[in-house]
Amino acid sequence: MRARIVVRLRPGILDPQGTTIQRALEGLGFPEVRDLRVGKVLEMTLDETDAMRARERLDEMCRKLLANPVIEDYTCEVVESDERRRAR
Amino acid sequence: MRFGVVIFPGTWSDMDFHHVISQVLHQPVEYVWHRDTDVDRFDCLVLPGGFSYGDYLRAGAVAGRSPIVAALPGFVARGGLVLGSCNGFQILCEAGLLPGTLLRNDCLQFRCQWTHVAVEQTESPFTRGLRRGQVLKMPIAHGEGRYHVDQGLLRQLQERDQIVFRYATEAGEVTHAANPNGSVWNIAGVSNEEGTVVGLMPHPERAAETSVGSTDGLLLFHSVLGSLVENGSVLGR
């Protein structure tokens, strides 16, 4: 199955990259942009058929490596099950 | 008094440390590959600067999960000392051996320059030979050196005397202008509670000979050597 993990900077952590991008957008005529934050998206294929088990494993991956709990939050989701991929 | 200089894929300051330890301090030193976990022949392990694993994911994240880093808690528990500089500091934070984390510099620039740091504590084996408030001149070279801890942890580090170095002016004043990367409370280096693991963003190994502009970095090594031979034995081992 396919899975997607989104890692975000926690609220309150200064994101100078986000601020710079927001300023660039403002310069290009997008003054309505506010609170822009940069995160990471990790997509992967898992050799796993049980969605519940997959979510547990994804969570473990985040805790062990993919997110730094001092500064980051994460969300994991199973995007597409094998069944749906076969049906396609 | 045997030193080990750890090499990860992408480490670049290993030869500088090796040179200073062997040629300036005349101490036995070996390179240690990151997959090597048999480290008990060493008294002090150095994690040098560089860009281990290309800084992928987060600076120090992948190296922070390597076999030698997993062996460090045991090494430290048996009396070993660990010094991490620059990327080595980032790795120690990522591995949870030191508190906090290092983020992108607030100026967004890679900063390669001389800095001055004020010595905040002199209890660690790496600072035992120094005076509180003493100013050391050492260079930095990093894009991700903004030390971050939340306010609660900052207070805890202050109470437990774990803040080792703070960016300061040449005269030792801790000012906003002297902070090259936006680190909280101007923090340039911290230690674990016991003081046996120290990490700092500046490069002591690049301030160890008059020909490069400063010898202040040697003071950390001299402190360690003094500690290692304390009471006529190597750290009581």
Instruction: Tell me the shortest Cα–Cα distance from A11 to chain B, in angstroms.
Output: 12
Mean pLDDT of chain B: 94
Question: Are the C-beta atoms of B218 and B226 separated by less than 8 Å?
Answer: no
Q: How confident is the model at residue B226 (pLDDT cuts 50, 70, 90)?
A: confident
CA distance B200 to B185: 14
- The CA distance from B67 to B33, in Å, is 10
User: Is B101 an 8 Å CB contact of chain A?
Assistant: yes
Of A14, A20, A65, Cβ closest to residue B65: A65
In this prediction, residue A80 has a pLDDT band, given cuts at 50, 70 and 90, of confident
| Whether residue A1 has pLDDT greater than 50 | yes
What's the pLDDT at B1? 77
Cα separation, B81 vs B4, in Å, equals 10
B-interface mutation test, from A8, A62, A71, A73, most B Cβ less than 10 A away: A71
Phi, psi at A19, each rounded to 5°: -60, -40
| Interface predicted TM-score (ipTM) of this complex, two decimals | 0.82
Confidence class for position B237, pLDDT limits 50, 70, 90: very low
C-alpha B223/C-alpha B210 separation (Å) is 19
Residue ranges per structural domain of chain A: 2-87
Of all residues in chain B, what percent carry a pLDDT higher than 70? 96
C-alpha B81/C-alpha B45 separation (Å) is 6
The predicted-structure confidence for A41-65, as pLDDT tens digits, reads as follows 999 999 999 999 999 999 999 999 9
Assign B229 a pLDDT band (cuts: 50, 70, 90): low
User: Is B107 a catalytic site residue?
Assistant: no
pLDDT of residue A83: 62
The CATH topology of domain A2-87 is Mth169; Chain: A , (3.30.1280)
Q: Which helix (H) or strand (E) holds B30?
A: strand B29-33
- Which residue among the candidates B44, B86, B93, B116 is catalytic per the annotation? B86
B78-133 pLDDT tens trace:
999 999 999 999 999 999 999 999 999 999 999 999 999 999 999 999 999 899 99
pLDDT tens digits, B12-61: 999 999 999 999 999 999 999 999 999 999 999 999 999 999 999 999 99
**Which of B58, B104, B146 is facing A68, going by the closest CB pair?**
B58
Residue with tokens 């000979």: B209
Q: What is the pLDDT of residues B137-195, one digit of tens each?
A: 999 999 999 999 999 999 999 999 999 999 999 999 999 999 999 999 999 999 999 99
> What is the tens place of the pLDDT at every residue in B195-204?
999 999 999 9
CB contacts, 8 Å: B93 with chain A: 70
**Alpha-carbon Rg for chain B in angstroms:** 16
What are the boundaries of each domain within chain B?
3-232
Reading the block at residue B71, the tokens are 């062996």
Given an 8 Å threshold on Cβ–Cβ distance, is A66 in contact with B65? no
What topology is assigned to B3-232 in CATH? Rossmann fold (3.40.50)
